[in-house]
Each structure stands twice: as C-alpha cells, then as structure tokens.
Amino acid sequence: SELQARVKNLEEVETRPCGLDGKEETDAGVTKLTAELEQIWRDKMGDIAEFDERELIGDWELVYSTSAKYRRWQAVLNAEKFIKGGVVDGLVQNFAIDPITQAKEYDMEELFLREDEELGMRAFGSWSVGLSSNVVTGDDDLVLKLQLSSIEYDTEEDDVEPAEKKLLDSQMVRTFCYSFIAYVDSDIRIMRTGLSSQSVFIYQRMADKAS
C-alpha cells in the first residue's frame, strides 16, 4: 500500500531507528499524513465507540516518532540510564487478551546497542481502550492506556535486574503510556501523544512468528 511504502521510506532516509534523529521536513510530512489518515479512518468507522480493540492484538515495532520528549530522553524505559551508554536499536510492543480470563496483557521491549552487545529493557502490565473528549477538535478520542506493573533490564553480567519502581512514574513513561489512537489497519498503527497530530508514534505490525 502507499502507506506502507511511505513508512518504508521513513526507515530508509533516517540514520537512526525510531525517528530519534528525525528531520523537520520529515516530521512535517508525518504529521500532515497523520491528520489526513485520522480523518479518513474516522469517516470510514463512523462511530469511534464501535472500534474493535482486538485490532491491537499482536506484535508492533516502532518505526518513527516525532515526539520531542522522546528525542530529548533518547529512550522510553532507559531515560533513567539503567543501561548506561546504550543507544536505542528498536522498540517492540505486544498486546494480548487472555482467552480464559479476558485479561488484557501488555509487554514491551526496548533494545539497546552498547559497544558490541545488545541489551534490553522489558516492561510488563495491562492495557485498556476508552473514550476521552478532545477539547481541541470537539470530538471524542480513543485513548490507549498502558498500566505498567514492572520493568526489568539486562546487565553487563548477563543477569536480569528489576528496575526501581520510581521509573514507572518517570515523565517519559507517563507520556508513552497515555496516547490516542489516530489510525490503525492490518499493517500500520499511528498513536498521538497529544491532542493534535504534532507528536506521533508510528508502528508497523510484525509478521506472525509462526508464519
């Protein structure tokens, strides 16, 4: 699709993953595209309250973000520098619904390169989708809330350590865990972290490991 092609182009023109060194001209195109896609998506859906949250289930990889806060911290989970000197190499989210309890389970992994090794930070918790009024547009927004309960990180000694609980309340984690669904299809998901389309996170669905 044209959208997939544009997302692939984003990956090719950027020298660092996830839009961490994003250019103004790239950001402008992304925010314009987000606004256009959100309007088309809303028009097609009619009533956003009818959104089927099961569309989120699966693995999603962060492709690009225009978030100034994300670029400032240079990570979501590692803003407190648990992995010192680590440079972001990717971020993956997983959404699941337990078939028996119907509990909405969430986990994510942020990968970092340091010298010649790859280290990760992982967060676990739950997720929910709800409605919230948008004072800018006058419409309702679909809010995706992530409730993280624990975070762990890899150490140089090949161990896994729990991160301090205070990380759950860090500015970057709080911003990341409360976002608005701007667009979603079978391949692409776009999230806003504000009431307008200036600060967005674009994800691409990862292929099913079994396929």
CA–CA separation, 201 and 108 (whole Å): 15
In single-letter form, the type of residue at position 4 comes to Q
Helices 24-45 + 2-13 axis angle, to 10: 160
pLDDT digits (tens, 9 = 90+) for 33-50: 889 999 999 999 989 999
pLDDT digits (tens, 9 = 90+) for 132-170: 988 777 788 999 999 999 999 999 888 999 999 899 999
CB 208 within 8 A of CB 24: no
pTM for the whole thing? 0.92
Tell whether the model's pLDDT for residue 210 goes beyond 50.
no
Q: At 1, is the pLDDT very low, low, confident or very high (cuts 50, 70, 90)?
A: low
Residue 190 CA from chain centroid, whole number: 8
Backbone angles phi, psi at 102, to 5 degrees: 65, 15
